[in-house]
A and B are shown apart, each in its own frame.
Chain A
């Protein structure tokens, strides 16, 4: 799966969590722009993990602040 495919899959998964219809760019932040609280993060991460059959540990999540970083991380985790 290339980066564009990962990107478009994640965009679909993000939709129900993007309650204020914030425009999503690589620089969009989850805590700031999307106002994700810890429970939303858990549900959103679980949706991505199930879609790509990967684990995004809390340690990894701590390094991810923006949408672009998330797409990069999922690309990396699905490579292996």
Chain B
């Protein structure tokens, strides 16, 4: 290729300050591009480009050509290969076809959508359930719709991106408070002008560090100020609480929560999101919530697998007990090995290992992958306080022996990259 052609092929990067020409819209990503190029130039396997060529079970897959134990999925209850769940999906494909090609409010509500909403109402013992196409859209839709102009949203600073995006999509005043800080939340609620609508948004389990919220105290504070409460229980459904309804159930305040947001893409083992509520006017949301109305509904096979899985999760207390055992053993074992963890005690199925920096984190991630273990490498902006984390999420289908194998892998990898 000639030099001239080479020159012409190079994308023009314009700078408005110097030439008066419009700036390249992609220039805002230059820092991210640079960080990524620096990381990959060190020779590390791309932590954000992993491919699972074969999935053998909820806990095993062939990743980048290697037989790998999965410790970085949200398949907490191991429902993805449940025979009843698979069978329900196959039957729905045969009976209803591959997709609905329409919105829930037009041609996109099939018997299966009503059935999965009934399963959710039974699971949570609540009056209303509304299913969205993803968990992200559930937060996006509910938060942006119920909190409007002149209303106030008071939320934890470590909230998930879908919560922040729900705030950004709406017109309410957005007031964050320091993570899990009850006093800071109380003060902010107390300063909201009289008469304004108030929505407090909390999560049961915060997914980066795997820590839980003091919902009992926080819900009481919200109630004291007359605020409505929305709790995202994405990472606790099926696992935490006597019936697997989440942290609000475990702390005895689920009846004081106005809206529970959840997802099918974690313990339920498929994809989709939902909101359950006892609010008497809740059903109107189906007509006014744009991320619900202006998108296609979930395929029949997905809602069929979700409904079957949710009903099985109601009777999952043995699996819940085993998952707690796994979480406690992994947390305790990693601590004994000398790793720094995100919580002092295991609080959920997530155990976060804090890395000194991105370079060590990526090296450790790669060493673990070579050992045959997949975990999540998490870095800013997803993580709080600029931390780099190796996030381990356990599954009820991990055997006790597998957890011991995992600890051995962590020990060898940690020594190889000089973190322990």
Contacts and interface: CB of A to CB of B under 8 A. Distances in A.
Contacts, number: 36
Nearest to B192: A55
Interface stretch (B5-13, B173-181, B235-243, B276-284): B173-181
A37 B157 CA distance: 13
A53 interface: yes
Contact of B178 (A42, A55, A60): A42
Interface string A44-80: 0010011001110111100000000000000000000
Interface in A28-43: 37, 39, 42-43
B191 A55 contact: yes
Interface string B152-196: 100001000000000100000111111000001001100110000
Nearest to A60: B173
A37 B386 contact: yes
Interface residues of A, number: 14
B41 interface: no
Contact of A46 (B152, B173, B178, B192): B178
Contacts of B386: 37, 39
A42 B157 contact: yes
A42 B187 contact: no
Contact of B173 (A37, A39, A49, A59): A59
Nearest to B381: A38
Contact of A58 (B174, B178, B191): B174
Q: Point out which of A43, A54, A57 has the most chain B C-beta atoms below 10 A from its C-beta.
A: A57
A53 B239 CA distance: 41
B385 interface: yes
Contacts of B184: 46
Q: B176, B184, B385: which has the most chain A beta carbons within 10 Å?
A: B176
Contacts of B157: 39, 42
A49 B191 contact: yes
A38 to B, nearest CB: 8
Given A39-B385, A46-B184, A59-B173, A54 B178 contact: no
A53 to B, nearest CB: 6
B320 to A, nearest CB: 35
A46 B185 CA distance: 11
Interface residues on B, range: 10 to 19
B379 to A, nearest CB: 14
Contacts of A50: 187
Contacts of B175: 55, 57-58
Contacts of B177: 46
A43 B188 CA distance: 14
Nearest to B174: A58
A53 B190 CA distance: 10
Nearest to B190: A53
A57 B173 contact: yes
Nearest to B384: A39
A55 B174 contact: no
B169 to A, nearest CB: 13
A49 B188 contact: yes
A42 B176 contact: yes
A49 B185 CA distance: 12
Contacts of B187: 49-50
Contacts of A60: 173
B188 A58 contact: no
A26 to B, nearest CB: 23
A50 B188 CA distance: 9
Nearest to A45: B176
Given A39-B385, A42-B157, A46-B184, A58 B176 contact: yes
A47 B56 CA distance: 52
Nearest to B168: A58
A59 B175 CA distance: 9
B191 A54 contact: yes
A59 B147 CA distance: 14
Interface of A: 37, 39, 42-43, 46, 49-50, 53-55, 57-60
Those 5 A-B pairs whose CB atoms lie nearest each other, nearest first = A58-B174, A57-B173, A55-B191, A57-B175, A59-B173
Given A37-B386, A55-B175, 9 more contacts: A39-B385, A42-B178, A43-B178, A46-B184, A49-B187, A55-B188, A55-B191, A57-B173, A58-B175
Interface of B: 152, 157, 167, 173-178, 184, 187-188, 191-192, 384-386
28 contacts: A39-B157, A39-B384, A39-B385, A42-B157, A42-B176, A42-B178, A43-B178, A46-B178, A49-B187, A49-B188, A49-B191, A50-B187, A53-B191, A54-B191, A55-B152, A55-B173, A55-B175, A55-B188, A55-B191, A55-B192, A57-B173, A57-B174, A58-B167, A58-B174, A58-B175, A58-B176, A59-B173, A60-B173
